[in-house]
Chain A
């Protein structure tokens, strides 16, 4: 019998909060993190809203406790801040005491810093300080920097499946536990805003010039965001041995591929439907047990049709409360799955449904609409959290209340 997988620590930083408590407070007070960038050098500075973490990279290095040390990119620093909180919450002071694996997620690694010095790096006539960024171009750099800073020497990996990256990191970590390869693993993702991704999504005409409106009939694209989030996952036996405080159970998960189109989901939501259905089946629950879905809800034309159709197919006439929290955090790509998994835990622990901001008009393709109000005292036992990405990479997680 495979072990159950429990969440015993969480840490995060986003545009709406420097830690989990800060995020919860902003969600409750309907404080969106969207605005114009102060840090990104782009012609869209005052045209395309983003959800930016308000600190400069230098300030982040101070918060992360590594001020004055070379080579930490913004991606790494965001990750390190979230990692430190996750460890603290799990009561881990020495990560070496129990062999601990680390599964990270990233879409463009240290691009946030390398894109500013890239043309110096490739120019033989230039030398200087920028050479320290040469090794930060790939996705492994941030993972290893974080691991080395906090002392992780066991299994490490980095996953990149676009917008579902950190959901897949959580899934891989849970599977390592279930297979008995580790008893503790820290999983999540980190993402910094870059000119590269902003222009990438903009070239696909996927970015709204206004705050995004998930599941609204007039929606017109996404807003990018930055942030990082990690969860400490522990096996049932380790939890018992250490008397760890359990926040929730990661009870189900599924990864499917649409095999439909490189960047667009299928109009009927085949992949989304399969991911949710399989994750729910794995958790041993039925559709009647789900009280809230934290949808992927990017507010692109195609995602919301596809995901909405999938919800209707799975739940029929009894679609539970659902909302997209992307109008708060922006779409944080590789970090989104882990950020929203933490929101799902918060929904259970505080019995909350988060409002889907900026919604006014139901989509003509759907008979369902998202929850627009903050619901307090709402009885939530099980949440589905969705993350869908380019390449048809879909992932759904089921997070359940821990009954002790």
Chain B
């Protein structure tokens, strides 16, 4: 693919104070329920009250993060809107399933059905910003957001000047319980700031919405360049190792030129082996995990991208978020992200400072 991909604006709603203000001043938000929930902003600044009342939680989070990212970039109507979500609006899906039963399939309110469709957030953003161009939604677990990014990079390659790409995910107590039945979460309750001291089966759950305005040209407000992206489906350890080396070679980056690796490590003993590939191959490169901040969810990669771009732009680590940090890297030029979702979908991203 020809053409570059620069992050020109972004916004994240997450279990941390990421939506506004100076990151370096925000303390880490701690929860000990194994289920991290977003710190939600005041939506009224973004969505008119009468619309707000009808919208379920993930629609508000998704739309607001999208609008803030656009605001941040100074672009009102992007050339395309592409998103990823593994589960869409769980609240609406759950509600509609229950109402079908409770009302015996009669006189149902269509709103939860409409809002449960995975492309509902995309449609809302398009409607609100009058964006009549390309619009797509990917719904593939740990490849949802990453396919949205790839689609965006294709669009820039094909000649679009800018694209709004994003991801949104919510967790509900009901869905948390469902996934606990197949062992996705730790059986002991832990505090998220001590996640990496609890190596055991399962992890902690999370949620979030993050949006990015991607552009083919950079300016003095560019956060970072998304230089490379690689997805791997159920790779063996050997294939993962080879793919990492190939990826770096294709990007023209030597392992020692990477200043920091953001990893999706989540203290789940079932999938820890994949991170050992990284440890072995990039042994001398500083690593920072991010899942203690956002929890595990299909589109956690979007939080990682937001965090990585933030670090590259500010050249500053919010040290209070990373108690495990020994010594911060002196400079941040090349930042590698590696994440996997329950061992199935694996992703490398390379971010470069401007």
Contacts and interface: CB of A to CB of B under 8 A. Distances in A.
Q: Is the interface of B mostly helix, strand, loop or mixed?
A: mixed
Interface residues of A, number: 63
A43 B135 contact: no
Most buried by B among A140, A180, A204: A140
Interface stretch (B33-41, B113-121, B251-259): B113-121
Contact of A160 (B108, B132, B137): B137
Interface string A172-207: 100110011100000000000001100110111000
B127 A259 contact: yes
A258 B133 CA distance: 8
A175 B154 contact: yes
Interface in A249-300: 255-263, 270-271, 274
A158 interface: yes
B182 A200 contact: no
Interface residues of B, number: 57
Given A176-B154, A393-B123, A168 B181 contact: no
Contacts of A131: 181-182
Interface string A341-354: 00000000000000
A42 B119 CA distance: 26
Given A140-B86, A147-B233, A199-B100, A161 B119 contact: yes
Interface stretch (B138-146, B198-206, B302-310): B138-146
Interface string B157-189: 110000000000000001001110110000000
A134 B123 contact: no
Contacts of A200: 96, 110, 113-114, 116
B344 interface: yes
B179 A263 contact: no
Given A160-B119, A391-B120, A392-B123, A138 B132 contact: no
A1 interface: no
Given A138-B139, A158-B138, A196-B100, A107 B117 contact: yes
Contacts of B157: 179
A380 interface: no
B138 A393 contact: no
A135 interface: yes
A235 interface: no
A369 B132 CA distance: 28
Contact of B108 (A107, A124, A199): A199
Interface string B97-123: 100110011101110011011111011
A157 interface: yes
Contact of B140 (A118, A157, A161): A157
Interface in A85-136: 106-107, 115, 118-119, 121-122, 124, 131, 134-135
Contacts of A161: 118-119, 122, 135-137
Nearest to A132: B182
Most buried by B among A134, A160, A204: A160
A36 interface: no
Q: Is the interface of A mostly helix, strand, loop or mixed?
A: mixed
A258 B138 contact: no
B281 interface: no
Contacts of B101: 119
B18 to A, nearest CB: 26
Given A199-B108, A391-B119, A257 B126 contact: yes
B138 A157 contact: yes
Interface of B: 1, 81, 86-88, 96-97, 100-101, 104-106, 108-110, 113-114, 116-120, 122-124, 126-127, 129-141, 143-144, 147, 151, 154, 157-158, 174, 177-179, 181-182, 231, 233-234, 344
Interface of A: 42-44, 106-107, 115, 118-119, 121-122, 124, 131, 134-135, 137-140, 143-144, 147-148, 153-162, 168, 172, 175-176, 179-181, 195-196, 199-200, 202-204, 255-263, 270-271, 274, 389-393
Which 7 A-B pairs have CB atoms at the shortest separation, nearest pair first? A391-B123, A200-B113, A160-B118, A257-B135, A203-B110, A203-B108, A158-B140
14 contacts: A43-B104, A115-B100, A159-B136, A160-B119, A199-B105, A255-B135, A256-B133, A259-B132, A262-B120, A389-B119, A390-B123, A391-B117, A391-B124, A392-B123
